[in-house]
Amino acid sequence: MKKFLLALIMVFGFGVANSFAAPPLWSVDYAKQYCDLWNKSSLAKDLKDWAKSKPVKVIQIYRTDCGADKKVELQIKYEDGMAKCVYAGPPKTKKPDFLMYTSTKKWEELGKGKFGFGGFRVAMMRKLKFEGSMKEAMSNMGAFKTFLLNIGKIPYSKQCP
């Protein structure tokens, strides 16, 4: 009887632990949590003018060690005077406004604010691969730093999505 109860507790305990496991970094579930954080953070206010310039801004993101086929998409829309994240999930757009990718290790470093020698701008060139309007990105560097630091505010696992 004791063995049965112990086995039941172990199975139930592992089931509960697994149900609360953090999603993989830049998985669909992680992206949804990131989208919620975006709307609660200073990004919604700081990027309102940026979001006004087009009906929807599209950002796609992935981890190079997991593969480009594991991209997620964030859609940002000017709404109620803010730059709101209105979609987070699998890519829907063929040509995003921005594509960002790097290794899991480098995403982690950026999310922890470890920009290294030369500071933030140099870190961006060395650690993060970026496709899109450099002019647009450079004019929003303060908000972009917040974007990166927000990565470290959501628990995640290192497994690939």
What superfamily would CATH give domain 25-151?
SCP2 sterol-binding domain (3.30.1050.10)
C-alpha distance across the termini of the chain, in Å = 40
Query: Under a CB-based contact definition with an 8 Å cutoff, are residues 93 and 60 in contact?
Result: yes
Residue 74 near residue 58 (C-beta atoms within 8 A) = yes
- For residue 39, give the H/E element and its range: helix 28-40
pLDDT per residue as tens digits for the range 24-67: 999 999 999 999 999 999 999 999 999 999 999 999 999 999 99
What DSSP character marks residue 157?
A: B
Classify residue 69 by its DSSP letter: G
Q: What sign does the CA torsion over 24, 29, 32, 37 have?
A: negative
C-alpha–C-alpha distance, residues 125 and 104, integer Å: 16
How far apart are the C-alpha atoms of 56 and 69, rounded to whole Å? 22
Distance CA 139, CA 109 (A): 23
Give residue limits of the domains in the chain. 25-151
pLDDT digits (tens, 9 = 90+) for 69-85: 999 999 999 999 999 99
Residue 5 pLDDT grade (very low, low, confident, very high; cuts 50, 70, 90): very low
User: Is 59:95 a contact under the CB 8 Å cutoff?
Assistant: no
Global pTM? Answer: 0.84
User: Band of the pLDDT at 117, cuts 50, 70, 90?
Assistant: low
